[in-house]
Chains A and B, each alone.
Chain A
Amino acid sequence: MPSARRGVRAASGEGADPMDKEPASVRPVFPKSINFFRPVIGIALAAVPLYIVMLVYYGNSAEATRVGYEPDQPVAFSHALHAGRLGIDCRYCHTTVESASHAAIPPTETCMNCHANIRAASAKILPVRESHATGMPIEWVRVHDLPDFVYFDHSAHVRRGVGCISCHGRVDKMETVRQEKPLTMGWCLDCHRAPEAHLRPPELATKMDWVPNEDPFVLGKRLRDENHVNPSTDCTTCHR
């Protein structure tokens, strides 16, 4: 019996498939051209996921989302003028920077100390005069905005000789304040792990245009030993 199933004749004789009676050729599922597209398809398959990954990665990176943030402020206050050309020290206005965690945004009074008589009439400082008169505060827009679960202490950094510019950039050259640095955890860690490059004599911390007259790393190394700067990378240093 099994031998009955041998040979083409027998098989086609089964009539199992009607194909035999039809013309010998069929149209393939895909046209010949598709083979030329294989490389394209291949590349696409590889590239698309890559693109998405990149998109997400850069999308989350501070460079894409934060750096360069430069909102309009309610008062056209120019750091470039005050800190730069007039050379007023940061601490004149940000009084608590050496003693407290916040480098307090100055109260309107501070502005009026000078502007009571300097340019008192200028339209630019109208909102300041108003605030001073009414006691209503000026609502500045926050530029350097750390997440709420991060505890940063200005005094701890300034007292060790970490210059303002290390985190804020050359504010004395900014008409309106702009975020220069990513202020991400990774970025903080870089400095906490190797602070040398950012150390200067503490008394010069606020000096914007200061440049070391020797190799900053050599200096930094020395200052680090002198001022016992051993920044910690423990989580609890910033997260509580």
Chain B
Amino acid sequence: MNLSAWLSAEILGLGFLLTFALLFYIFYYWKHRASYQKELEELRRIDAFTRLRKTIGQAIENGRGLQISIGSGGLNGIRGAAGLVSLSMLLVITQKSCKGDQSPQVTSGDGALASLAQDTLHKAYRLAAVESNSKASQNQVTGITPFSYAAGAMLTILDQPLQANLLAGNFGSEAGLLAEAGERSSQLVIAGSDGLPAQSVMLATADDALIGEELFAGGAYLSAEPSHEASVKAQDILRWIIILIILAGVILKLAGAL
């Protein structure tokens, strides 16, 4: 007998969503109240993020910029989520680096993402109370299909004396070409994507790769924002809930209850 017949998928899904939203709010207010200082120590070490945080500082020291490629996913569906994560990372990175007049170079493969990146840059300048000096070429669409985007981004990577490349967003296997271009110009390459082929390629080509869900924790690892912290905590708990549901379901199945 099929479990989905016994338990309506919609109900289960709604349960997941509400649980997550609830947990998110609880943690959000908890973090907000308690004036938390050591959020970062509360997360397991992920080499890619550790190195990224160092690199941001070094970029300012050497006056060499960062390039952030936020992919060509657009805003729809799961790909869109990857793009939104990369934007929240862009906000944090720009806030940190624009004081040293080293605001990052952004490339994207979609108009909506590029516009959002522009707004994010402005917002970062505003929050950092720095005069916006962003040029049109600082945030550009380098191509409109995944491969033409990758090809254009390769050229911008090869052209500029960059400290590091962050590939965060929706990519296909063409991400390998971007990573290789960064390697050619001896830049550090940190890469993460929601696409699975891209992840395998990044693992092989990039200096540091983010696997699966790690990309979606980017905000929490880079900033001390309570909302990011809260969502990571909520993610952890939701994950355990799913694990328990699977275990319970299997046990019930073995017991023949389903």
Q: Do A and B come from one complex?
A: no
